[in-house]
């Protein structure tokens, strides 16, 4: 029987928090991630800081990706994840394809339902009446975007959130129709995971092993219900990681980085990884058994250069068994 390990290589990426930093640092570490041979590079899609004081400096997502696309050569790029509420889905598709061409076909279209009410209220963006309606909007948006990226002409069904009228866009993705993958973030069991099952080529989530075991089972059921092979969806896991030879020192560095951004999170070995490459690899392998072959490492600013430099070794250890 084919498994996720058979279908996907072991990959590791970096998620650079775009808050509490400046462009010089954000740009320099993006280039370093590329030079180190990491597989993927991600940033948030928020208009205000989401950890600590919302009025900390923060950079916008799609324009950041466009700049990174021009500055890097090999690494794949995406938002972890784009806020569907911020943009009309047609604009989202156009932004993604533009970055895909700048990068030479290295772009993921990351998207989710959005959750941070403060930034919606402050910017006058409709937030909706709750998670349910926003996830309905997400499902409709992703269906439309996926069809546009495949080269179809799209007209919306009556009564929905959006009103596409013979929407057709050019150019198509850099590598051709349907080649720009959509990654959906979130673990909502009734709506989000069903949207993943119907439309996504990638899924991102984070949490304890017990939680992820439940979520993967529910996603598999949704895939069966819609007639989709679950192996068509790459599973990515986001996790806070600091690598040091001494686990206590790694924990100190990780805690300091989170606190410096205003986070009150207390480290939890169920959701955070700190220690040597071997120790972190052992934790990740448990998730690989659930199909999470792609680890995305959360990196708050100021970015931890040593951890980033040691990520290729972590990948080698997990890939080697």
Euclidean distance between the first and the last CA atom of the chain, given in angstroms as a whole number: 19
Beta bridge partners of 258: none
Would you say residue 214 lies in a domain?
Answer: yes
Read off the tokens for 251. Answer: 């924990």
Determine the 3-state secondary structure of 151 from DSSP. coil
Would you say residue 251 lies in a domain?
Answer: yes
Q: Is the pTM of this model over 0.85?
A: yes
Report the interhelical angle of 305-319 vs 277-288 (nearest 10°): 50
Say which CATH number the domain at 13 has.
3.20.20.30
Would you say residue 133 lies in a domain?
Answer: no
Would you say residue 127 lies in a domain?
Answer: no
Structurally, the chain folds into a number of domains equal to 1
Beta bridge partners of 185: 204
Read off the tokens for 284. Answer: 């990740």
Would you say residue 159 lies in a domain?
Answer: no
Would you say residue 288 lies in a domain?
Answer: yes
77 — phi, psi (to 5°)?
A: -130, 145
126 — phi, psi (to 5°)?
A: -65, 130
* Residue 68 burial (CB count, 10 A): 26
Beta bridge partners of 243: 275
Long-range contacts of 158-167 (CB under 8 A, 24+ apart): 161/136, 161/137, 162/88, 162/89, 164/89, 164/90, 167/90
Would you say residue 122 lies in a domain?
Answer: no
Q: Which of 314, 317, 280, 320 is nearest to 12 (CA)?
A: 314
pLDDT at 321: 77
> Structural domain of residue 270, as residue ranges?
4-114+181-319
pLDDT 10s per residue in the chain (321 long)? Answer: 889 999 999 999 999 999 999 999 999 999 999 999 999 999 999 999 999 999 999 999 999 999 999 999 999 999 999 999 999 999 999 999 999 999 999 999 999 999 999 999 999 999 999 899 999 999 999 999 999 999 999 999 999 999 999 999 999 999 999 999 999 999 999 999 999 999 999 999 999 999 999 999 999 999 999 999 999 999 999 999 999 999 999 999 999 999 999 999 999 999 999 999 999 999 999 999 999 999 999 999 999 999 999 999 999 999 997
Q: Tokens 């100190």 identify what position?
A: 252
Would you say residue 23 lies in a domain?
Answer: yes
The answer to whether residues 200 and 138 touch, using CB atoms and an 8 Å cutoff, is no
């Amino acid at each position: 029987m084919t498994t996720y390990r058979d279908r996907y290589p072991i990959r590791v990426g970096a998620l650079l928090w775009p808050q509490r930093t400046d462009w010089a640092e954000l740009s320099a570490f993006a280039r370093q991630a590329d030079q180190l041979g990491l597989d993927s590079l991600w940033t948030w899609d928020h208009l205000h800081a989401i950890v600590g004081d919302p009025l900390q400096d923060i950079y916008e997502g799609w324009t950041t990706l466009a700049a990174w696309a021009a500055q890097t050569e090999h690494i794949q790029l995406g938002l972890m994840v784009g806020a569907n509420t911020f943009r009309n889905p047609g604009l989202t598709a156009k932004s993604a394809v533009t970055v895909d061409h700048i990068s030479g076909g290295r772009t993921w279209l990351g998207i989710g339902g959005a959750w941070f009410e403060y930034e919606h209220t402050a910017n006058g963006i409709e937030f909706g009446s709750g998670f349910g309606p926003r996830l309905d909007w997400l499902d409709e948006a992703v269906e439309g975007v996926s069809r546009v990226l495949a080269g179809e002409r799209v007209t919306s069904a009556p009564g929905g959130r959006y009103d596409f009228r013979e929407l057709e866009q050019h150019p198509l993705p850099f590598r051709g129709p349907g080649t720009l993958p959509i990654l959906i973030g979130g673990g909502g069991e009734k709506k989000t995971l069903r949207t993943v099952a119907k439309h996504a080529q990638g899924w991102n989530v984070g949490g304890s092993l017990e939680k992820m075991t439940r979520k993967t089972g529910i996603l598999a059921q949704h895939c069966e219900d819609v007639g989709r092979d679950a192996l068509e969806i790459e599973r990515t896991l986001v996790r806070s990681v600091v690598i040091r030879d001494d686990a206590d020192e790694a924990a100190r560095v990780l805690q300091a980085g989170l606190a410096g951004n205003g986070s009150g999170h207390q480290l939890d070995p169920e959701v955070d990884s700190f220690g040597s490459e071997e120790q972190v690899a052992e934790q990740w392998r448990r998730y690989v058994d659930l199909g999470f072959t792609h680890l995305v490492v959360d990196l708050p600013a100021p970015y931890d250069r040593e951890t980033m430099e040691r990520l290729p070794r972590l990948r080698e250890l997990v890939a080697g068994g």
